Structure 1
Amino acid sequence: MRFVPSAEFRAMPWKNGLGVTREVALGGDAATFDWRVSIATVGASGPFSAFPGIDRTIAVLKGEGMLLNVDGARHELLAAGEPFSFAGEAKVHADCIGGETTDLNIMTRRASFAHVMTRRRPAEPFTFTGPAGLTFLICNGPFRLEIAGKDHAAQPLDAVCDIAEGDRLRIEPQGQADLFQITVGQAPH
Structure 2
Amino acid sequence: MTFNTSLPYQIIAQSDYQRMPWKNGLGETLEIQRHEDESGLRFRISQASVVEDGVFSDFSGLHRTLVLLSGEGMTLEHAVKNKNSSHTNKLSNALDIARFSGGDETYATLKSGKIEDLNIMVRETDTQANVQAFTAPCSLLFSNNSTLFSNNSTLFSNDDFLFCGFYVCEDGVLEIENTVLTISAHSMVIFSQNANAKLTKGSGVFINITELD
Whichever residue aligns with residue 83 of structure 1, its letter is I
Deviation at 1:148, TM superposition (A): 5.8
- Per-residue displacement from partner, 1:135-168 (whole Å, max 9, x unpaired)? 110111121234466553212211102x233222
Structure-1 separation of matches of 2:96 and 2:49? 18
Match of 2:183 among 154, 159, 176: 154
Structure-2 separation of matches of 1:172 and 1:141? 12
Match of 1:168 among 186, 191, 196: 196
Mark the structure with the bigger radius of gyration: 2
Deviation at 1:97, TM superposition (A): 1.2
Tell whether the 8 Å contact from 2:43 to 2:121 is kept in structure 1 after alignment. Answer: yes
Quote the residue 1:61 is aligned against: 69
- Per-residue displacement from partner, 1:47-90 (whole Å, max 9, x unpaired)? 10111111110010010111111114332112335311101100
- 1:94 aligned onto 2:102: no
Alignment TM-score, normalising by the size of structure 1: 0.87
- 1:179 aligned onto 2:204: yes
Tell whether the 8 Å contact from 1:38 to 1:105 is kept in structure 2 after alignment. Answer: yes
* Partner SS for 2:94: coil
Report sequence identity in percent. 25
- 1:128 aligned onto 2:140: yes
Quote the residue 2:153 is aligned against: none
Structure-2 separation of matches of 1:38 and 1:78? 20
Give the aligned length.
181
Match of 1:10 among 10, 13, 18: 18
- Range with bigger deviation, 146-155 or 136-145: 146-155
* Partner SS for 1:141: coil
Tell whether the 8 Å contact from 2:44 to 2:120 is kept in structure 1 after alignment. Answer: yes
Structure-2 separation of matches of 1:32 and 1:180? 26
- Per-residue displacement from partner, 1:103-144 (whole Å, max 9, x unpaired)? 01100011121011111112x3x5422231321101111212
* Partner SS for 1:28: strand
Quote the residue 1:39 is aligned against: 47
- 1:142 aligned onto 2:171: yes
- 1:70 aligned onto 2:65: no
Structure 2 gap segments, 5+ residues each: 1-8, 80-85, 148-157
Tell whether the 8 Å contact from 2:71 to 2:94 is kept in structure 1 after alignment. Answer: no
Structure-2 separation of matches of 1:120 and 1:151? 18
Whichever residue aligns with residue 87 of structure 1, its letter is S
Tell whether the 8 Å contact from 1:59 to 1:79 is kept in structure 2 after alignment. Answer: no
Structure-2 separation of matches of 1:82 and 1:18? 24
Alignment TM-score, normalising by the size of structure 2: 0.78
